[in-house]
Amino acid sequence: MTTGLEIVRTVADLRAQVATWHAARATVAMVPTMGAIHEGHMSLVRQAASLADHVVASIFVNPLQFGPSEDFEAYPRGEARDAALLAEAGAELLYAPNASEMYPQGFATKVRVSDLTDVLCGASRPDHFDGVATVVTKLLLQCGPDIAIFGEKDFQQLLIIRRFVDDLNIPVKIVGGAIVREPDGLALSSRNAYLTAEERETAPLLHATLRQAAQEMASGLTTEHALESARAVLEAAGFRVDYLEARDPVTLAPVSGIVSAARILVAAFLGKTRLIDNVPVPPKA
Ligand code: AMP
Protein backbone atom coordinates (compact mmCIF):
# COMPACT_ATOMS: atom_id res chain seq x y z
CA MET A 1 0.00 0.00 0.00
CA THR A 2 1.42 3.43 -0.85
CA THR A 3 0.53 6.03 1.71
CA GLY A 4 2.70 9.07 1.05
CA LEU A 5 3.65 8.80 4.70
CA GLU A 6 7.30 8.42 5.56
CA ILE A 7 7.94 5.78 8.21
CA VAL A 8 10.95 6.03 10.55
CA ARG A 9 11.91 3.45 13.16
CA THR A 10 14.83 5.01 15.00
CA VAL A 11 15.23 7.98 17.31
CA ALA A 12 18.04 9.27 15.08
CA ASP A 13 15.86 9.31 11.95
CA LEU A 14 12.94 10.87 13.82
CA ARG A 15 15.16 13.63 15.22
CA ALA A 16 16.75 14.31 11.84
CA GLN A 17 13.36 14.97 10.23
CA VAL A 18 12.06 17.11 13.11
CA ALA A 19 15.34 19.08 13.13
CA THR A 20 14.91 19.83 9.41
CA TRP A 21 11.41 21.17 10.04
CA HIS A 22 12.48 23.21 13.04
CA ALA A 23 15.44 24.62 11.09
CA ALA A 24 12.88 25.94 8.59
CA ARG A 25 11.05 27.57 11.52
CA ALA A 26 8.09 25.24 11.07
CA THR A 27 6.12 23.86 14.02
CA VAL A 28 5.59 20.18 14.75
CA ALA A 29 2.70 18.42 16.49
CA MET A 30 2.89 14.84 17.71
CA VAL A 31 0.02 12.33 18.09
CA PRO A 32 1.11 9.21 19.99
CA THR A 33 -0.99 6.06 19.46
CA MET A 34 -0.83 2.31 19.84
CA GLY A 35 -2.16 1.79 16.31
CA ALA A 36 -5.49 0.12 15.44
CA ILE A 37 -6.28 3.56 14.07
CA HIS A 38 -9.88 4.73 14.13
CA GLU A 39 -11.74 8.02 13.72
CA GLY A 40 -10.79 9.03 17.30
CA HIS A 41 -7.08 8.95 16.45
CA MET A 42 -7.75 10.58 13.08
CA SER A 43 -9.56 13.49 14.70
CA LEU A 44 -6.46 14.09 16.87
CA VAL A 45 -4.28 14.08 13.74
CA ARG A 46 -6.62 16.57 12.03
CA GLN A 47 -6.55 18.77 15.13
CA ALA A 48 -2.74 18.51 15.15
CA ALA A 49 -2.61 19.52 11.47
CA SER A 50 -4.74 22.57 12.25
CA LEU A 51 -2.37 23.64 15.06
CA ALA A 52 1.06 22.97 13.56
CA ASP A 53 2.86 22.91 10.21
CA HIS A 54 3.81 19.22 10.37
CA VAL A 55 2.29 16.22 12.13
CA VAL A 56 4.21 13.23 13.45
CA ALA A 57 2.09 10.26 14.50
CA SER A 58 3.59 7.38 16.41
CA ILE A 59 2.56 3.78 16.75
CA PHE A 60 4.04 1.77 19.58
CA VAL A 61 2.21 -0.95 21.47
CA ASN A 62 3.91 -0.33 24.77
CA PRO A 63 4.50 -3.53 26.72
CA LEU A 64 5.14 -1.56 29.95
CA GLN A 65 1.54 -0.38 30.21
CA PHE A 66 -0.14 -3.78 29.93
CA GLY A 67 -0.72 -5.93 33.01
CA PRO A 68 0.27 -9.63 32.94
CA SER A 69 -3.29 -10.79 32.21
CA GLU A 70 -4.12 -7.99 29.77
CA ASP A 71 -4.32 -8.00 25.97
CA PHE A 72 -0.75 -7.03 24.91
CA GLU A 73 -0.35 -10.06 22.61
CA ALA A 74 -3.91 -9.81 21.25
CA TYR A 75 -3.82 -6.02 20.73
CA PRO A 76 -4.77 -5.40 17.06
CA ARG A 77 -1.77 -4.65 14.84
CA GLY A 78 -1.82 -3.63 11.17
CA GLU A 79 0.73 -1.02 10.18
CA ALA A 80 -0.12 -0.63 6.47
CA ARG A 81 -3.78 0.10 7.16
CA ASP A 82 -2.91 2.38 10.09
CA ALA A 83 -0.36 4.32 8.02
CA ALA A 84 -2.91 4.92 5.25
CA LEU A 85 -5.47 6.30 7.71
CA LEU A 86 -2.93 8.51 9.50
CA ALA A 87 -1.77 9.91 6.15
CA GLU A 88 -5.36 10.54 5.10
CA ALA A 89 -5.90 12.57 8.28
CA GLY A 90 -2.81 14.69 7.62
CA ALA A 91 0.19 13.02 9.26
CA GLU A 92 3.43 13.36 7.31
CA LEU A 93 5.70 11.15 9.37
CA LEU A 94 5.03 7.93 11.22
CA TYR A 95 7.40 6.98 14.01
CA ALA A 96 7.03 3.24 14.57
CA PRO A 97 9.97 2.03 16.67
CA ASN A 98 10.39 -1.59 17.64
CA ALA A 99 10.62 -2.61 21.29
CA SER A 100 14.43 -2.76 21.30
CA GLU A 101 14.69 0.84 20.04
CA MET A 102 12.37 1.98 22.84
CA TYR A 103 13.70 -0.27 25.60
CA PRO A 104 17.25 -1.34 24.75
CA GLN A 105 19.05 -3.96 26.82
CA GLY A 106 19.69 -2.53 30.29
CA PHE A 107 16.79 -0.05 30.27
CA ALA A 108 16.05 0.69 33.93
CA THR A 109 14.22 4.00 34.29
CA LYS A 110 10.61 4.58 35.23
CA VAL A 111 8.59 7.79 35.30
CA ARG A 112 6.05 7.69 38.09
CA VAL A 113 3.48 10.37 38.93
CA SER A 114 2.18 10.21 42.52
CA ASP A 115 -1.42 10.50 43.68
CA LEU A 116 -3.11 11.02 40.29
CA THR A 117 -2.09 7.48 39.33
CA ASP A 118 -3.42 5.76 42.46
CA VAL A 119 -7.13 6.25 41.75
CA LEU A 120 -9.71 5.22 39.11
CA CYS A 121 -7.90 3.21 36.38
CA GLY A 122 -4.71 3.29 38.45
CA ALA A 123 -6.39 1.41 41.30
CA SER A 124 -7.38 -1.53 39.09
CA ARG A 125 -4.37 -1.44 36.73
CA PRO A 126 -1.44 -1.05 39.17
CA ASP A 127 1.55 -0.40 36.84
CA HIS A 128 -0.41 0.94 33.90
CA PHE A 129 0.21 4.66 34.34
CA ASP A 130 3.91 4.20 35.15
CA GLY A 131 4.15 2.48 31.77
CA VAL A 132 2.23 5.29 30.07
CA ALA A 133 4.24 8.06 31.78
CA THR A 134 7.53 6.36 30.93
CA VAL A 135 6.75 5.81 27.25
CA VAL A 136 5.14 9.23 26.71
CA THR A 137 8.13 10.92 28.34
CA LYS A 138 10.40 9.01 25.97
CA LEU A 139 8.26 9.75 22.91
CA LEU A 140 8.21 13.47 23.71
CA LEU A 141 11.97 13.59 24.31
CA GLN A 142 12.69 11.51 21.22
CA CYS A 143 10.58 13.68 18.93
CA GLY A 144 10.78 17.13 20.54
CA PRO A 145 7.45 18.36 19.15
CA ASP A 146 6.07 21.84 19.89
CA ILE A 147 2.62 20.40 20.61
CA ALA A 148 1.40 16.92 21.55
CA ILE A 149 -2.26 15.90 21.42
CA PHE A 150 -3.99 13.30 23.58
CA GLY A 151 -7.65 12.31 23.68
CA GLU A 152 -10.04 13.15 26.50
CA LYS A 153 -11.27 9.57 26.08
CA ASP A 154 -8.38 8.72 28.42
CA PHE A 155 -9.13 11.64 30.72
CA GLN A 156 -7.01 10.48 33.66
CA GLN A 157 -4.11 9.78 31.30
CA LEU A 158 -4.36 13.32 29.90
CA LEU A 159 -4.14 14.84 33.41
CA ILE A 160 -1.19 12.60 34.31
CA ILE A 161 0.63 13.64 31.13
CA ARG A 162 0.00 17.34 31.88
CA ARG A 163 1.39 16.76 35.40
CA PHE A 164 4.71 15.13 34.46
CA VAL A 165 5.26 17.44 31.49
CA ASP A 166 5.01 20.36 33.93
CA ASP A 167 6.99 18.63 36.67
CA LEU A 168 9.83 17.60 34.34
CA ASN A 169 9.85 20.88 32.36
CA ILE A 170 9.41 19.05 29.08
CA PRO A 171 9.16 21.87 26.52
CA VAL A 172 5.91 20.90 24.80
CA LYS A 173 2.34 22.17 24.87
CA ILE A 174 -0.15 19.41 25.74
CA VAL A 175 -3.52 19.71 24.02
CA GLY A 176 -6.62 17.61 24.72
CA GLY A 177 -8.83 16.28 21.93
CA ALA A 178 -12.60 15.76 22.25
CA ILE A 179 -13.96 12.21 22.45
CA VAL A 180 -15.15 10.83 19.11
CA ARG A 181 -18.23 8.61 19.43
CA GLU A 182 -20.27 6.25 17.31
CA PRO A 183 -23.67 7.72 16.33
CA ASP A 184 -25.21 5.78 19.24
CA GLY A 185 -22.81 7.41 21.72
CA LEU A 186 -20.29 4.62 22.27
CA ALA A 187 -16.81 6.16 22.48
CA LEU A 188 -14.58 4.79 19.72
CA SER A 189 -11.97 2.39 21.03
CA SER A 190 -9.82 -0.33 19.52
CA ARG A 191 -11.21 -2.59 22.22
CA ASN A 192 -14.81 -2.21 20.95
CA ALA A 193 -13.83 -4.89 18.42
CA TYR A 194 -13.74 -7.39 21.29
CA LEU A 195 -17.48 -6.93 22.00
CA THR A 196 -19.93 -9.63 20.91
CA ALA A 197 -22.92 -8.48 18.82
CA GLU A 198 -25.11 -8.58 21.89
CA GLU A 199 -22.61 -6.64 24.05
CA ARG A 200 -22.25 -4.07 21.27
CA GLU A 201 -25.99 -3.42 21.51
CA THR A 202 -25.75 -2.83 25.25
CA ALA A 203 -22.53 -0.76 25.13
CA PRO A 204 -24.05 2.68 24.24
CA LEU A 205 -25.91 2.59 27.57
CA LEU A 206 -22.61 3.46 29.23
CA HIS A 207 -22.50 6.93 27.69
CA ALA A 208 -26.28 7.46 27.92
CA THR A 209 -26.14 6.69 31.65
CA LEU A 210 -23.22 9.04 32.25
CA ARG A 211 -25.03 11.83 30.41
CA GLN A 212 -28.14 11.26 32.47
CA ALA A 213 -26.13 11.39 35.71
CA ALA A 214 -24.35 14.55 34.56
CA GLN A 215 -27.69 16.24 33.79
CA GLU A 216 -29.07 15.22 37.18
CA MET A 217 -26.04 16.63 38.96
CA ALA A 218 -26.24 19.82 36.92
CA SER A 219 -29.86 20.27 37.92
CA GLY A 220 -29.02 20.00 41.61
CA LEU A 221 -29.23 16.30 42.51
CA THR A 222 -26.44 15.18 44.82
CA THR A 223 -23.46 13.33 43.37
CA GLU A 224 -24.28 10.32 45.54
CA HIS A 225 -27.87 10.04 44.30
CA ALA A 226 -26.97 10.53 40.66
CA LEU A 227 -24.18 7.96 40.75
CA GLU A 228 -26.19 5.44 42.72
CA SER A 229 -28.97 5.36 40.14
CA ALA A 230 -26.45 5.31 37.28
CA ARG A 231 -24.71 2.30 38.80
CA ALA A 232 -28.04 0.49 39.23
CA VAL A 233 -28.94 1.09 35.57
CA LEU A 234 -25.58 -0.23 34.37
CA GLU A 235 -25.64 -3.30 36.62
CA ALA A 236 -29.20 -4.15 35.60
CA ALA A 237 -28.06 -4.08 31.94
CA GLY A 238 -25.23 -6.53 32.66
CA PHE A 239 -22.24 -4.21 33.13
CA ARG A 240 -19.75 -5.09 35.88
CA VAL A 241 -18.76 -1.66 37.16
CA ASP A 242 -15.08 -1.29 38.01
CA TYR A 243 -15.52 2.32 39.11
CA LEU A 244 -18.11 5.05 38.61
CA GLU A 245 -17.08 8.31 40.21
CA ALA A 246 -17.36 12.06 40.02
CA ARG A 247 -14.08 13.91 40.38
CA ASP A 248 -12.67 17.39 40.19
CA PRO A 249 -11.84 17.92 36.50
CA VAL A 250 -8.36 19.28 37.23
CA THR A 251 -7.09 17.53 40.35
CA LEU A 252 -9.22 14.36 40.20
CA ALA A 253 -10.04 14.91 43.89
CA PRO A 254 -13.35 13.23 44.80
CA VAL A 255 -16.40 15.52 44.80
CA SER A 256 -19.60 14.97 46.76
CA GLY A 257 -22.96 16.56 47.47
CA ILE A 258 -24.20 19.20 45.06
CA VAL A 259 -21.37 20.29 42.76
CA SER A 260 -20.98 22.71 39.89
CA ALA A 261 -17.96 21.53 37.92
CA ALA A 262 -16.99 17.87 37.84
CA ARG A 263 -16.14 15.01 35.54
CA ILE A 264 -17.93 11.70 35.81
CA LEU A 265 -15.64 8.81 34.94
CA VAL A 266 -16.46 5.14 34.50
CA ALA A 267 -14.79 1.85 33.77
CA ALA A 268 -17.06 -1.15 33.34
CA PHE A 269 -16.77 -4.63 31.95
CA LEU A 270 -19.20 -6.03 29.40
CA GLY A 271 -18.27 -9.68 29.34
CA LYS A 272 -14.46 -9.71 29.08
CA THR A 273 -14.17 -6.23 27.59
CA ARG A 274 -13.33 -3.29 29.82
CA LEU A 275 -14.81 -0.03 28.52
CA ILE A 276 -13.98 3.44 29.82
CA ASP A 277 -15.79 6.71 29.28
CA ASN A 278 -16.22 10.12 30.87
CA VAL A 279 -18.40 13.21 30.57
CA PRO A 280 -18.31 16.72 32.00
CA VAL A 281 -20.99 17.85 34.45
CA PRO A 282 -22.27 21.01 32.78
CA PRO A 283 -22.54 24.17 34.88
CA LYS A 284 -25.91 24.60 36.61
CA ALA A 285 -28.73 25.90 34.42
P1 AMP B 1 -4.46 4.57 21.99
O2 AMP B 1 -4.01 4.16 20.63
O3 AMP B 1 -5.67 3.85 22.47
O4 AMP B 1 -3.33 4.60 22.98
O5 AMP B 1 -4.93 6.07 21.84
C6 AMP B 1 -4.09 7.04 21.28
C7 AMP B 1 -4.67 8.39 21.52
O8 AMP B 1 -5.96 8.47 20.92
C9 AMP B 1 -4.87 8.70 23.01
O10 AMP B 1 -4.52 10.07 23.24
C11 AMP B 1 -6.33 8.46 23.21
O12 AMP B 1 -6.88 9.22 24.27
C13 AMP B 1 -6.89 8.92 21.88
N14 AMP B 1 -8.21 8.33 21.64
C15 AMP B 1 -8.56 7.03 21.72
N16 AMP B 1 -9.87 6.88 21.48
C17 AMP B 1 -10.37 8.12 21.24
C18 AMP B 1 -11.67 8.64 20.93
N19 AMP B 1 -12.74 7.85 20.84
N20 AMP B 1 -11.79 9.97 20.77
C21 AMP B 1 -10.72 10.80 20.88
N22 AMP B 1 -9.47 10.38 21.16
C23 AMP B 1 -9.30 9.05 21.34
Domain limits, the chain? 6-177, 190-279
The pLDDT assigned to 260 comes to 84
Residue numbers of the chain with a pLDDT score lower than 70: 1-3, 284-285
Q: Can you name the residues that pair with 54 across neighbouring β-strands?
A: 28
End-to-end CA, the chain: 52
Same fold, 6-177 and 190-279: no
CA separation (Å) from 235 to 188, 195, 238, 242, 268?
A: 22, 17, 5, 11, 9
CA separation (Å) from 154 to 109, 150, 204, 228, 265?
A: 24, 8, 17, 23, 10
Active-site residue numbers? 41
The pLDDT assigned to 285 comes to 60
Among protein residues, the one whose CA lies closest to atom 17 of ligand 1:
40
Q: Is the CB of 180 within 6 Å of ligand 1?
A: yes
From 42, 43, 44, 75, mutation site for ligand 1 pocket: most ligand atoms within 8 A of C-beta: 44
**Does the reported pTM lie above 0.95?**
yes
Report the alpha-carbon distance of residue 162 to residue 153 in Å, rounded: 15
Query: Hey, how many other C-beta atoms are within 10 angstroms of the C-beta on 58?
Result: 25
Architecture of domain 190-279: 2-Layer Sandwich (3.30)
Mean of the per-residue pLDDT values of the chain: 96
The CATH H-level superfamily of 6-177 is HUPs (3.40.50.620)
Closest atom of ligand 1 to CA, residue 178: 21
The pLDDT assigned to 3 comes to 61
Q: Could you tell me the distance, in angstroms and rounded to a whole number, from the CA of residue 190 to the centre of ligand 1?
A: 9
